[in-house]
Every structure is written in C-alpha cells, then in structure tokens.
Amino acid sequence: MSGTVETAGATAEDGAAGTAPVLRLDAVRKTYGRDSVVLRDVDLEVAPHTVTALIGASGSGKSTLLRCANLLEEIDDGAIFLDGEEITDPRADVDAVRRRIGVVFQAYNLFPHMTVLDNITLAPRRVHRIPRAEAEARAHELLERLGLGGRAGAYPDRLSGGQQQRVAIVRALACRPRLLLLDEITAALDPELVGEVLAVVRDLKDQGMTMVLATHEMGFAREVADQVCFLDGGVILERGAPEQLFGAPREERTRQFLQRIIQAGRL
C-alpha cells in the first residue's frame, strides 16, 4: 500500500465541540428477552481522533455495544450521544445518524453481483446523492491508497479475504464518516491476511480517524489504541491506557483473561 488514507480529519464539528466526545454512552442497557442482559449500564466516552479498543471473551457484549452505537440494535435504557446529540431520542433521524457512522463487520457483506466500484459507490450515490463521477473518483482514490488500484472492476469472488475486507473498509470511508466502528474485522481472515487489514487501521489512526474496534488481536490493540475497555458479562469491568490495562490490570478477572491470552501466545 502506498500513500495515506484520507479521512474526515479535523472538522467543523471538532471546532464546535472542542474536546467533547464524538461518541458517549450513558448507562446503556440492552437485553434479549426477559433474562438475557447483554449490556449492563455501560458508560463510555470516545474522544475525537482516538482509537478505543473493546476486548473480552466472546459473548461479553463487544459486538452488541457497536451495534447499539450505530442504532442497529435498540437499547432498553440509557442514552447514546453523537457529537452531543442524543441519537437514541425517538425523534432522532436514524438514517441521518447512520450517514455519519461507518461500520465494518467481520463478514465483508459485499454485494456479490456488483463490482468493487459499484459496491463502494452505492451508498454515496443513493444515500448521500453524490454525483456518480465524484463518487467514483473518491472510490478510485481510496482503492489506490489501500493497495487495490487495479481491482475496481473485479467482483468480490475474485478477491482474497484480505482484499474483500479492505474493500469493505473503503466502502465505509467513501461516505467520509465522523466515526468508524470495526467489529472483529480480522476474525474471518486467514492469519497471513490479518496483517494487511490491520495496516489499514494503523494508517487510519495516523490520519486522525475516530474509531471504536472490537478485537481479539491483543497485540494490535496494545499498539494502536488510546483507550482499552475490557468487557465481561456486559459490563466494562476495566478501562485504561494500553500500557496500564495490559501491563498492570487492576481487576482479577482482567488478569485471568490476559493470562489465558498470553498462554495462547496471542499477546
């Protein structure tokens, strides 16, 4: 890959909000049915141009937290704010909110009958009403910068898993999101392809993109995150800077989790 990845960078929203968080969760609670509590009174703040990593065992609530932040899941209590605006208010324009948040899932979710270029430009053209020529120029620029310059006309089944995931990231960036949510984006990849996707995230961090990522890549979280949150049973049990949380965790449950990760050779 060459060059850098253009992001939203500093915006008028930053100037208006100062150092106010881009994303804030206040006492967010999410249940499935009567007895399954997935998120328990979660509080979280994500500052502009920072990376927050969510770690924890499978089923701890990481993915649900991201889905709630993008309003793909309806919360049962609490509130979520984007740049100070309560997006969980029933009067909020859900479509307008989602236009400001990019999401990349572990499954690439590319349309198999569309070319790479059409996958990327669909939302800018249909949702944001960006002229085709402008949307395609943006797509070509991003593809080139992510090492996919010759793949615009290819169909997803002609790409490797790592290439498909990079296309999914390009698709999320094409709409110039305020916030990028990444949900286990390397989980479905062969080990040899993980590095190329993580390199993209590293580049996005360097360019100032605000991100929240759920990951099992502990070494990567330690390297790129400004804030790490350990979830257990739907609760953010511990949070802190990477050097603190990975080097000197305060909670016994955090220490147990990290010890298993170390024994598995993943940290």
Question: Would you say residue 240 lies in a domain?
Answer: yes
Question: Would you say residue 1 lies in a domain?
Answer: no
170-218: pLDDT as tens digits: 999 999 999 999 999 988 788 888 888 899 999 999 999 999 999 999 9
- Give the Cα separation of 102 and 108 in Å (integer): 13
Residue 10 contacts residue 208 (beta carbons within 8 Å): yes
Question: Would you say residue 122 lies in a domain?
Answer: yes
Tell me the whole-structure pTM to 2 decimals: 0.89
Expressed as residue numbers, the domain containing 16 is 12-263
Question: Would you say residue 233 lies in a domain?
Answer: yes
Question: Would you say residue 246 lies in a domain?
Answer: yes
90-116: pLDDT as tens digits: 999 999 999 999 999 988 889 999 999
Question: Would you say residue 182 lies in a domain?
Answer: yes
Please state, for a pLDDT cut of 90, what percent of the chain lies above it.
76
Residue appearing with tokens 């698709």:
171
What rounded mean pLDDT belongs to the chain?
A: 91
Residues contacting 52, CB < 8 A, separation 6+: 44, 46, 211, 212, 213, 225, 226, 227, 228, 229
Q: What is the pLDDT of residue 120?
A: 97
Q: What is the pLDDT of residue 17?
A: 46
Output the domain CATH number for residue 157.
3.40.50.300
Question: Would you say residue 6 lies in a domain?
Answer: no
Q: What is the pLDDT of residue 14?
A: 56
Average pLDDT over residues 55-72: 96
- Reply yes or no on whether the pLDDT at 234 is more than 60: yes
Average pLDDT over residues 35-54: 96
How many folded domains does the chain comprise?
Answer: 1
